[in-house]
Amino acid sequence: MNHPLHRLASLSCLILLCACPPKDKGGGGPGPVGVNRCEFDVSASPLFSQVGSGARARVLGSASDGVGGPFAQARAGDVLIENDRVRAVIQQPGRSLSPTPWGGYLIDADVVRDGPGQDTFGKLGFFYAFGRLIRATDVEILADGSNGGAAVVAVTGVDEVNDYVSVQNVIGRFLPGVNLVIDPNKALPLRATTYYVLSPGETRVRVMTWFCNEGPDPVQIPLGELVEQGGTSDPFNPDGCANAPGYEGLDGRTCTAEPMRWFGYQADRVAYGFRTYRVEDPSTPETRNALLSVAGVAGTLVGGEGLEGLLSWTDPGATRRPGAFGVLAGGKRGYLRDFVVGRDLGEIHSTFLALDNTPRARLDVQVSGPDAAGARVAVKDSDGKMRTLLVADADGKARVDLVAGTYTLVGAALDLPSAETPVTVPTSGQVSAQVLLPSPRRLTVTLKDAAGQPSPGKLTVFCPGAKCANAHAALQYRAADKLPDDVAAVALVPPSGTVTVKLLPGTYTALVTRGPEFSAWPSTWRAGDKGTAAQVELTQGDQALSATVARVVDSTGWMSADLHVHAVNSADSSVDNELRVASFLAEGVDILCSTDHDYVTDFAPVNAALGGDVHMATIVGEEVSTFDFGHYNAFPLVRSADHPYGGPVDWPGGSGPTHRLPQLFERIRADHPAAVIQFNHARGRLGGLSFLEVDTLTGASHAPAERFRMEADPAATANDTRLFSFGFDALEIANGTSADTALLNDYFTWLSSGRIKTATGVSDTHEAYNVAAGYSRTWLKIPTEDPRALTPEAFAAAVKSHAAVASNGPFVTLTARKVEAGAAVGNPVEIGGTVSVPAGGELELTVEVQGPEWMRVDRMQIYTHAPGREALGGAENDVAPTPVATAALDAADSALEAVGGLPNGFRRFRWVKSFRVSAAADTWFVATVGAGNSVARMFPLGWTGTECSTDGCVAVSARPAAWTNAVFVDADGSGAYDDFPTKVPKSLRLRKVTAPVAARIPSAEAFDGMLRSLVRHEH
């Protein structure tokens, strides 16, 4: 995981230009004129070691002088602090849109190593009062280490609202009527200086923030941290219910508001740990913290005492609020935390024990067997709780300090677990243990297309029973991509056509696929039935398979695109860009759009390096991820090489008001005139229609501007706060593998009132396998089928043309022709087009659906205008729309046909059905195709995650389904669809009627339910 999830360019530039650059002060001394530091004497404090030499601090002349690594963010002007063991970068003042959207915070870190850096860290931010932070104005090097002792960097700033995050709005939308007792939007008279201190020989950067209260009254606030995860790493909390904050345990429980003494991240060859100290005694670690994790960002309440302590900040009658931090009028006060860097979590664990002088003994572990180098070893206590994680070095060695007790070690490489190794650790001294990894078998698959050329694809290996021996591989500690219990492995076949996976000895079945337009191998496989896959015997030795898949669906003139995708540059995704591109090549998607949260990513270089550009085009975009008034994709964009995040839109506006939706859309198009704007998941707890309380027929909004820190529109009325805009082009009706009923009603409402948007299907995937890439997807009518010939302009025009089909698998087309004298005449009018008939005239609608032999559908439905589909005040209209025509499809085998131009054995199903309908006035028609309960589901292609309970983990699969955009009908002779079935007088403003909500204090159960839902759904 990594870059922030959830930008007025001129304001950002002004902030950056006015921010003072770091001052290189050499060996120390007073700050430059104008720096009003909240003073603290680091050199005189016993909290910081001044022994030895070798610690250094300096201003970076270029980004290449920084830590380096897969998620390095440093730029010229940032400050590097290092010694002979660790290196870290402190960001210069300025705007960098993220959960902590201002500079002055620690952003990169790594151990000192030979060769390139391995930074995989996001940002160590903090906030207070549930939504305020210090906006850095000055960064100074107070001690550069040239005189020995610690290197010290001071960051001074002023109180500022965190315009990215609104904790109150999160609580309010889950628990109406519940409010924080402290207003995060109220300015506080605080000035602060954060001192970053790195002593010689230490692996921790000590972070001490001093607050100066410049007001006439005492200030009492909660303190917290906002820690952004960074790149591809696994979060870890030794006190959490599943060790990974914010993730589900294998019993299905979601870990929320956990207790926390320390937490950290394990990445490739580097790990990070973080803990705080008691504000009343900075020499004693704070053990009473509350930890939450949402969408890749960990938030802490220092001294918050878990969920009950957090709840006290919503209770105006509480006499005690854990985590309260007070600063007297005219006084100052500080608090301390440690940021530790190591090679694995075992090293972090050992460091904390050593810092606390805890009695302990050294455990040396020798990992033996294949793939021992880099193998992970989980250290579990006598209760089965994982206490830490070790990563073996090139010689298979690992070590950790532990308190006395009985432990169990389980090693794993490539998700293949070792047997458990018990070990008893004494109170002191040293003990050693051996971990023997199993000898795996190799399954090699070579994949070719029908012409005998290498092909990308996906290999899925199933275990014969309900649960594989390596189910979950929780022992190896991977937080994401939890596979179903009966899936032994998923591997992506690259364009070179060959992949090898390692498996435990045994008997399996294997399946090779390349998405819904292609046949599967073996051809005997039927969706949802692993028993019809190929038998693989790995009991005695390795095995090699040769597979062939062919495009069997004729989608000539159309290209499939996924218009909502996340990878490592999104805070809530741990999928690196290479893996993300490979996952879409494997699923046969023709166009991959980058839509990371508030980050402009370009997949093209990775796609070319993989050899995928002959198979798939890429489009640059971003998801403008407003915290609490919806998410909006913009593409195609041009990535800014000069901006650390590629030049995303600064939707909160910095110190100014947040953009209203009309202003946001204007801002996007001012910078990118040709951009398509897509309204993402517009309903529910991420939905802009819900947040802004929109009447869908009129576009009137009822939410107050101040709720979102927006400036009220001068033209706002009591019935319309004018926060909404119809200035978007596309609407997601299927986010994941099924369409949302409320969004279908919204889409139909807009069709009927002339506000025509392109309905799309997207995966919104954040994972490598668990939410499959390209399910759903959108087929677009595009003149070329060569990915290398696709231009951004042609792509944008295709989306805006409304010639699109959303689908989780089946390929569907819809055409219309006028009927005269009982016969259909004229050229067929395709999706997005308009057919003219006389008023009351008859049309023939023809629906064609295709899919590979392994897929099944069994019904078609036709929809048109009907009254009563609008929604008021943000509430969902979830009444299922009624079709005007339905057709049951015949037995599956009757629709199978050989595919011309391919060898025997490659077949597809194809149904063509015609419907006669009439049009009394201008109208529209949409077709859908689906499958009933009796039809096999799409797993392991179209599936949307793994659901766990005490009985195990199973795939949440989907039935095949597709939804076309509209064919329009001109029945008044104007030549266009312009006499809309629903008339919307300009003066009409529908009014929302709401009952007052009584303020109440939530129960722990209600609050925990809110947090669980937030963790599950907040992207």
Report the distance separating Cα 777 and Cα 812, nearest Å: 12
Four-point Cα dihedral 224, 226, 229, 235, nearest 10: 30
Smallest CA-to-CA distance from 338 within 354, 327, 322 is with: 354
Indicate the pairing of strand 132-143 with strand 23-24: parallel
Q: Give, in order, the Cα–Cα distances in Å from 502 to each of 202, 370, 468, 514, 575.
A: 40, 11, 14, 21, 21
What's the DSSP call for residue 596?
-
Q: Please measure the distance between the N-terminal and C-terminal CA atoms of the chain and give it in whole angstroms.
A: 12
Indicate the pairing of strand 834-836 with strand 967-970: parallel
Four-point Cα dihedral 646, 649, 651, 655, nearest 10: 70
- How confident is the model at residue 979, as a pLDDT? 96
Map tokens 């599943």 to a residue: 242
Per the structure block, which two tokens stand in for 452? 């005998």
Per the CB < 8 A criterion, the answer to whether 387 and 352 are in contact is no
- How confident is the model at residue 971, as a pLDDT? 97
- How confident is the model at residue 97, as a pLDDT? 87
Map tokens 């983990």 to a residue: 953
**10-residue block means of pLDDT along the chain (1019 residues)?**
33 30 39 77 96 97 94 95 98 91 96 96 93 95 97 97 86 75 93 98 98 96 91 87 52 63 93 96 92 79 83 88 94 97 98 97 96 94 91 97 96 87 97 96 97 97 86 53 88 97 95 98 90 94 97 97 96 92 98 97 98 97 94 96 88 89 96 95 92 96 95 96 97 95 98 98 94 96 93 97 97 98 96 97 97 93 97 95 92 79 90 96 97 83 83 87 98 96 70 46 58 48
Q: What is the 3-state secondary structure (H, E, C) of 408-451?
A: EEEEEECCEECCCEEEEECCCCEEEEEEECCCCEEEEEEEECCC
Q: Give, in order, the Cα–Cα distances in Å from 178 to each of 129, 870, 997.
A: 16, 29, 9
Report the distance separating Cα 191 and Cα 401, nearest Å: 40
- How confident is the model at residue 1019, as a pLDDT? 45
Report the distance separating Cα 605 and Cα 244, nearest Å: 33
SS3 673: coil
Long-range contacts formed by 896-905: CB under 8 A, 24+ apart: 896/853, 899/550, 899/552, 902/450, 902/550, 902/552, 903/450, 905/523
Report the distance separating Cα 1016 and Cα 1013, nearest Å: 5
Asked whether the CA dihedral 642, 643, 645, 649 is positive or negative, the reply is negative
Report the distance separating Cα 876 and Cα 887, nearest Å: 29
H or E element: which one contains 172?
Answer: helix 167-174
Is 823 buried (19+), middle (13-18) or exposed (0-12) by CB count in 10 A?
Answer: exposed
Smallest CA-to-CA distance from 574 within 6, 69, 71, 945 is with: 71
Q: How many CB atoms lie within 10 A of CB 605?
A: 12
Give me the DSSP letters along 365-382: EEEESTT-TT-EEEEE-T
Map tokens 């129960």 to a residue: 1003
Q: Up-side HSE of residue 181: CA atoms within 13 Å toward CB? A: 18
Report the distance separating Cα 506 and Cα 587, nearest Å: 28
Report the distance separating Cα 913 and Cα 896, nearest Å: 15
- How confident is the model at residue 170, as a pLDDT? 76
Per the CB < 8 A criterion, the answer to whether 236 and 137 are in contact is no
Per the structure block, which two tokens stand in for 49? 């070691």
Per the CB < 8 A criterion, the answer to whether 223 and 202 are in contact is no
Report the distance separating Cα 854 and Cα 941, nearest Å: 11
Is 553 buried (19+), middle (13-18) or exposed (0-12) by CB count in 10 A?
Answer: buried
Report the distance separating Cα 248 and Cα 254, nearest Å: 4
- How confident is the model at residue 34, as a pLDDT? 63
Smallest CA-to-CA distance from 407 within 390, 387, 389, 393 is with: 387
- How confident is the model at residue 895, as a pLDDT? 82
- How confident is the model at residue 712, as a pLDDT? 97
Per the CB < 8 A criterion, the answer to whether 331 and 191 are in contact is no
Report the distance separating Cα 993 and Cα 512, nearest Å: 54
Four-point Cα dihedral 66, 69, 73, 74, nearest 10: 0
Report the distance separating Cα 978 and Cα 111, nearest Å: 65
Q: Give, in order, the Cα–Cα distances in Å from 314 to each of 182, 311, 461, 1013.
A: 8, 5, 49, 19
H or E element: which one contains 210?
Answer: strand 204-213
- How confident is the model at residue 935, as a pLDDT? 76
Residue 440, preceding peptide bond in cis (omega within 30° of 0)? no
